[in-house]
């Protein structure tokens, strides 16, 4: 449904501050000089037009290290009943979200938590589609934080390994988050839980960045050129 100009939500001051933070953005600094928020969402389904976010989990990465204690997690109460099919995947029950905050309460806190950090997600475009839909509805705009996709970064790393033929190379590698963690012998976390998936993505992201850094990719722009991974504004 198209909103008339006088019914549109004015841009929230939190988003105004967010926009100012990224009015000028430099891609040429070393990758380890940027701060990252690695995040994941759990959803009622995969259609951004109809489905909703019901959980957000995030961890902060600074100096290419996960910052202990600087986490964000919340359930979100959706506008519609929770589909049974989605509960089978993420194991979130109606009882867990019946007293959860609504999305309009959660979003300003999440945007503030992210601050000037770049956002990292595994197939991040899906998470951002849901986030920005909610942001437009409740806060009158979108987040301007550049995004990095750990899945595309993994593809870039795999291409680099094949091209240079060092070590054991799995040509048929899957880019599923859990399978990549096993492929690279990373710590394993529970699947389809927003906080656990955020941690899993963070470990994967750091593994990939460190290996590509050693291979000669130094700046954020280098990583962008390696796999066309970002930064991307949604």
Contact residues for 136 (Cβ-Cβ < 8 A; gap 6+): 9, 142
Average pLDDT rounded to a whole number, residues 93-108: 93
Topology annotation, domain 27-227 = Nucleotidyltransferase; domain 5 (3.30.420)
Q: Give the pLDDT score at 190.
A: 92
Q: Is 140 helix (H, G, I), strand (E, B) or coil?
A: coil
Tokens 């929770």 label which residue? 82
Average pLDDT rounded to a whole number, residues 182-208: 96
The residue ranges of every structural domain in the chain are 27-227
Residue 48 confidence (pLDDT) above 80 = yes
Residue 231 confidence (pLDDT) above 50 = no
Q: Give the pLDDT score at 214.
A: 87
Strand partners, 167: none
11-26 burial, b at 16+ Cβ within 10 Å, e below that, comes to: bbebbeebeeeeeeee
Residues 110-134: pLDDT tens digits? 999 999 999 999 999 999 999 999 9
Q: Give the pLDDT score at 163.
A: 75
Average pLDDT rounded to a whole number, residues 25-31: 93
Helix segments in the chain, DSSP class H: 13-21, 84-90, 94-97, 103-114, 124-139, 150-164, 177-183, 194-214, 220-227
- Backbone torsions φ then ψ of 87, nearest 5 degrees: -65, -35
Residue 12 confidence class, pLDDT cut points 50, 70, 90: very high
């Amino acid at each position: 449904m198209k909103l008339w100009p006088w019914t549109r939500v004015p841009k929230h001051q939190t988003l105004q501050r967010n926009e100012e933070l990224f009015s000028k953005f430099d891609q040429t600094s070393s990758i380890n000089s940027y701060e990252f928020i690695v995040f994941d969402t759990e959803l009622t389904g995969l259609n951004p037009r109809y489905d909703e976010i019901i959980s957000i989990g995030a961890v902060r990465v600074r100096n290419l290290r996960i910052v202990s204690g600087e986490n964000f997690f919340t359930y979100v109460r959706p506008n519609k009943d929770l589909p049974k099919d989605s509960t089978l995947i993420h194991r979130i029950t109606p009882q867990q979200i019946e007293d959860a905050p609504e999305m309009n309460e959660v979003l300003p806190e999440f945007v503030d938590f992210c601050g000037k950090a770049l956002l990292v997600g595994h197939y991040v475009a899906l998470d951002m589609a849901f986030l920005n839909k909610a942001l437009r509805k409740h806060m009158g705009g979108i987040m301007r934080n550049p995004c990095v996709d750990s899945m595309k970064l993994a593809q870039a790393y795999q291409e680099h390994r094949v091209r240079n033929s060092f070590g054991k190379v799995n040509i048929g590698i899957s880019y599923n988050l859990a399978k990549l963690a096993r492929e690279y012998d990373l710590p394993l976390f529970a699947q389809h839980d927003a906080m656990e998936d955020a941690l899993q993505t963070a470990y994967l992201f750091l593994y990939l960045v460190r290996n590509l850094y050693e291979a000669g990719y130094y700046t954020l722009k280098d990583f962008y050129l390696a796999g066309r991974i970002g930064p991307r504004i949604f």
